[in-house]
Amino acid sequence: MAGFRLQSMDQRSSSYIENIQKNIRYLSLAGMRWDEKVIRQSKAVGISEATEDSMYSMYYNQQSHAGTDIGQHEFIAFFDKEYPTRRDFLRRFAMNGEIEHVIETIADETIIFDDNNYFAYPNTKNLKAVLKPEKAKDIVNDLNECFKKVYFAFNFNNSHDGWHYLKKFLIDGFLAFEIIYDGEGEEAAKNVLGFKELDPVSLEPEMRKDEADNEYRVWIQYKGDSERQRELLDGNLIYISWARGNFISRLSYVERLVRSFNMLRTLENSRIIWNVINSQYRMKIIVPIGTQSEVKARTRLAELRGMYKEDITIDYQSGEISINGTPNFSFAKTYIFPSKDGTQTEIDSFAPQGYDLKDTEALQYFWKRFIIETKVPNSRFSIGGQEGGGGGGESSWTSGGDGIAREEMRFSYFINRIRSIFQEILMKPTWLQFCLKHPEFAKDKILKGSIGLLFTEENLFTIAKEREIASKGAETVNNLMGVMQPTIGPDGMPLEEHYFDPKFLVEKYMQYTDIDLKLNEKYKKERRDQITRIRYAYQKMGLGSAGGSEMGGGGFGASSAGDMGGGTSPFGPNDLGAGGGTETPEAPAPEAGGEIEAPPPTQ
């Protein structure tokens, strides 16, 4: 590790840290060689290379700006020198009740805890479709075990910290954690012990090279501070950002709400001030000054101006209104004016002149503009049975797809985009924990790409829409399967056959992916093999075929009939190309106790 030094938080020697993290650096190298090869083979000038002085030229520092144009990299808070000030403003801004309501609505939709206090589980659905059956079970079990270790290390199982971290991410736009491993002396790291939250502003990425000229990334914390400077391997850090380094974007979600909310707040304040001003009864007093000098008259007027001055302020945090420094204001005002020509005091009343702002219809427009900016459906702001707090009928919560508004679908897509970023705080350490147990898979990109995170879902609108698509698709497939075309049979006799293939219709109208269909084929093959084994066992015992009563009723019998060619549904496995024979109505079905010679296991 020439030229590479690490300092521990308890001031242990750098060699100690190097020894226990030797395999962590290997994991940090995994996956970097591909980007390096792409950069070296590139011949064009990337957008970041052409604008090297731009703050959007993220890591690789002065070594290789081309790295920012390969893929989508996180935005680095360190390079935006104004970000600390903006973050302080955003945190204060998020304390407004309306903003807090929006953030919590999004957090409630994104992080949903089940009865076991889990808000997500490893998604191994795609993994099962690409692994060999003899290895799939062990790998899936190990991944689930690694995920639980990480989840427990975050203490998510005993708290709602995941929900709070998401709120913080929506406000700040950045989250960073140190991954802490075990290991003592010469012993390599074997497990993730815990996590420590770090300030994203303090972290700056740099690219290094080892003795074999392999590039790897390190993160320098508090660079230039002799007492606090640290260096962390990429395998020791989780870093997520709302913005992307090579795209135009807000730094955080809350930042998009500033303009529309401030306009709404300004109009609200104008109505408040108008009502306060117009609630007072005003008296006008004209005082003659006679032959007093101009200096004395001005002095007297200044005294009167200070006495009757109206200074109105509104506290944005508490909503309190103060006039001349006091929260209590009088409902009557007296104004005194000097007059040289008068001989007696005149007392009269007057009304202030200005725009009539008692109408609040204009607020509805800007309130709707604010709701649009939040991306939260209007129905989520329902107050007293009225959508958006200003009319429009009751919010409709139905279980059928017909009651789903398009904005609810867009909102579910928005939530999924947030989850795709936030899941990194669990997915990265889970993968590293898995690689510590199985180093041979560290560079297996296919395996890594087949692992996802399945969030606990309670979005009734999304679930209802998916079910409606499946139901309508099944109805369409059934109808199209009734379309027949004439043909000639093997014996030369005319007959009719289905015009459409069921597999084609299922893919087109039920919107199942190739992975879904492959997984379905895998499950069907397992079921056919199970039926075959049971039939062999029954024949070996001299009991004949597995009857419906012997196998536990018609549930199993119906499945076996469909698999072995006895079914008539267009959705049967035979129509989907899963194997089996054709319909033979004259032969007794297995459920009826007929003898069927057991076929060999499917390949």
CA nearest to 475, candidates 515, 519, 505: 505
Q: How far apart are CA 11 and CA 587, in angstroms?
A: 82
> What is the structure's pLDDT at 382?
62
User: DSSP characters for 191-205?
Assistant: SEEEEEEE-GGGEEE
Q: How far apart are CA 71 and CA 42, in angstroms?
A: 13
- Tens digit of pLDDT for each residue in 282-301? 666 666 666 778 788 778 76
Q: Which residues are within 8 A (CB) of 157 and not within 5 positions of it... i.e. 6 or more apart?
A: 116, 117, 118, 151
What is the arithmetic mean of pLDDT over 487-500?
A: 77
Six token digits for residue 494: 């005319």
> What is the structure's pLDDT at 332?
62
- 445 vs 212, more confident: 445
Six token digits for residue 182: 């075990």
> Exposed (0-12), middle (13-18) or buried (19+): which is 267, by Cβ within 10 Å?
middle
> What is the structure's pLDDT at 417?
94
> What is the structure's pLDDT at 561?
38
- Tens digit of pLDDT for each residue in 102-111? 999 999 999 9
**pLDDT band at 352; cut points 50, 70, 90:** low
Q: Are 381 and 448 in contact (CB under 8 A)?
A: no
**pLDDT band at 557; cut points 50, 70, 90:** very low
> What is the structure's pLDDT at 458?
73
**Residue 569: strand, helix, or coil:** coil
> Exposed (0-12), middle (13-18) or buried (19+): which is 591, by Cβ within 10 Å?
buried
Q: Are 199 and 176 in contact (CB under 8 A)?
A: yes
Q: How far apart are CA 75 and CA 58, in angstroms?
A: 7
Q: Look-up: residue for tokens 């064009």?
A: 44
Q: Look-up: residue for tokens 């180093």?
A: 439
Residue 514 has pLDDT above 80, yes or no: no
User: DSSP characters for 294-338?
Assistant: HHHHHHHHHHHHHHS---EEE-TTT--EEETTBS---SEEEEEEE
CA nearest to 357, candidates 279, 282, 273, 281: 273
- Tens digit of pLDDT for each residue in 73-84? 678 888 888 899
> What is the structure's pLDDT at 584?
38
Six token digits for residue 179: 């991954």
Q: How far apart are CA 28 and CA 22, in angstroms?
A: 10
What is the arithmetic mean of pLDDT over 510-535?
A: 85
Q: How far apart are CA 2 and CA 86, in angstroms?
A: 39
Q: If you ran DSSP here, which 8-state letter would residue 541 be given? A: T
Q: How far apart are CA 219 and CA 199, in angstroms?
A: 12
Q: How far apart are CA 466 and CA 480, in angstroms?
A: 21
**pLDDT band at 599; cut points 50, 70, 90:** very low
**pLDDT band at 11; cut points 50, 70, 90:** very low
Residue 160 has pLDDT above 60, yes or no: yes
Q: Cα separations (Å) of 364 from 94, 261, 367, 495?
A: 22, 13, 5, 67
CA nearest to 565, candidates 536, 587, 538, 535: 587
> What is the structure's pLDDT at 5?
39
- Tens digit of pLDDT for each residue in 401-444? 454 567 888 888 899 999 999 999 999 999 999 998 888 888 88
- 141 vs 325, more confident: 141
Q: Which residues are within 8 A (CB) of 231 and not within 5 positions of it... i.e. 6 or more apart?
A: 4, 5, 6, 7, 218, 219, 220, 221
Q: How far apart are CA 586 and CA 590, in angstroms?
A: 12
**pLDDT band at 364; cut points 50, 70, 90:** confident
- Tens digit of pLDDT for each residue in 226-271? 889 998 888 889 999 999 877 788 899 999 999 999 989 888 888 8
Residue 315 has pLDDT above 80, yes or no: no
Q: Are 460 and 399 in contact (CB under 8 A)?
A: yes
> What is the structure's pLDDT at 538?
83
- Residue 372 gets the label, from left (phi > 0), alpha (psi -120 to 50) or beta, of alpha
Least-confidence region, from 190-194, 314-318, 529-533: 314-318
- 18 vs 29, more confident: 29
Q: Are 515 and 559 in contact (CB under 8 A)?
A: no
- 246 vs 453, more confident: 453
Which residues are 348's β-sheet partners? Answer: 284
**pLDDT band at 195; cut points 50, 70, 90:** very high
Residue 326 has pLDDT above 90, yes or no: no
- Tens digit of pLDDT for each residue in 571-582? 333 333 334 443
Q: Are 392 and 383 in contact (CB under 8 A)?
A: no
**pLDDT band at 509; cut points 50, 70, 90:** confident
What mean pLDDT value characterizes the chain? 74
